[in-house]
Amino acid sequence: MLSASLDSEAVIEAMTLMTDLYTVYALPLEVGSFYNQFRYGNIPIGIGDFGMYIQLLHAAPEIAGLWDIAPLPGIELNGEVNRSYDGASTSSMIFKNSTKQDEAWTFLKWWMTSSIQLSYAENLMASFGPEYMWNTANVEAFSQMSIDRTHRDVFLEQWRWVLDTAKTPASYMLEREISNAWNKVVYDGFNVRTAMEDSLVLVNKEITRKMMEFEFIDSNGQIIKPYLLPTKDNLENWVSKDD
């Protein structure tokens, strides 16, 4: 509970691949503007987000129709290419102290329905133009949106692979320490395992600090209340229990 698995064999292997791409295979470390470089044909291929997709679709008319999108590259695992990628997400919540909990719940239920999400997205595009394409998180609504059919299928395929690490109060430390470890290996020539083990100490320290702050453990490391890691399984348990 108080330890990140940064020194596990799988993580080290993944990190080695991540750094080898730059140290051994000389991938460009920084691209000033992928949008421009791609337009001029200097860079033939790249990984971008939804914003980049919209930009290329609407602000690069000179290469319209000359490019296409595909699901992210991945690693072959058990005969299938694993394209897992993290997805930043936002969520809605209702405060315990609120006096309008029922209204809020009704509103959220209404707002999350596929038809409302779909009509919101369509209305945005209809009133402001197609560049206001809005990607709803509602899969059903997204699959009905009036966008390029083949592109939509690519998005839906990639959607199956959205997988994020479980967020904890100290998650931010995990992210910055992985970045630092990467930075150390790529710029300063550190050994991957050494860099990761240095990072692990700092991450674990922060996890302990946060667990103490939110009173999951006391200052001697004794558990006060159990901390349930919000993994995919746990989240699905919570949702299905109430529904």
Partner 1 sequence: MTEVKQKRSLTNKSKEEIAGHIFILPYALAFLAFITIPVIMGMFLSLTYFNLLEAPRFIFLSNYVTLFTADDVFMQQVIPNTIQFAFFVGPIGYMLGFFLAWLLAQVPHRARTILALVIYSPSMTAGVAMSVMWRIIFSGDEAGYLNAVLIQMSVIQEPIQWLTNPDYLMPVMIIVTLWSSMGIGFLAMLAGVLNINQELYEAAAIDGMSNKLQEIFYITIPSMKPQMLFGAVMSLVATFNAGSIGVQLSGQNPTPQNAGQLIVTHIDDYGFIRFDMGYAAAISVVLLIMVLTFNYAAHKLFGERD
Residues binding partner 1 (CB under 8 A): 26, 28-32, 37, 172, 176, 179-180, 183-184, 187-188, 202, 213
Q: Residue 28 or 130: which CB sits closer to partner 1?
A: 28
Residue 5 CB, shortest distance to partner 1, in Å, is: 22
Distances (CA, A) of 225 to 95, 207, 214, 216: 22, 15, 10, 5
Residue 30 CB, shortest distance to partner 1, in Å, is: 3
Q: Which residue has the tokens 């296409």?
A: 68
Q: Residue 65 or 189: which CB sits closer to partner 1?
A: 189
Lookup: tokens for 22: 């730059």
Q: Is 92 exposed, middle or buried (0-12, 13-18, 19+ CB in 10 A)?
A: exposed
Q: Residue 188 or 243: which CB sits closer to partner 1?
A: 188
Say how far apart CA 123 and CA 144 lie, in whole Å: 14
Residue 239 CB, shortest distance to partner 1, in Å, is: 24
Q: Residue 24 or 64: which CB sits closer to partner 1?
A: 24
Q: Residue 30 or 68: which CB sits closer to partner 1?
A: 30
Residue 168 CB, shortest distance to partner 1, in Å, is: 13
Element (H, E) at 226: none
The DSSP bridge partners found for residue 80 are: 77
Residue 166 CB, shortest distance to partner 1, in Å, is: 19
Tell me which DSSP letter residue 71 carries: P
Say how far apart CA 222 and CA 60 lie, in whole Å: 58
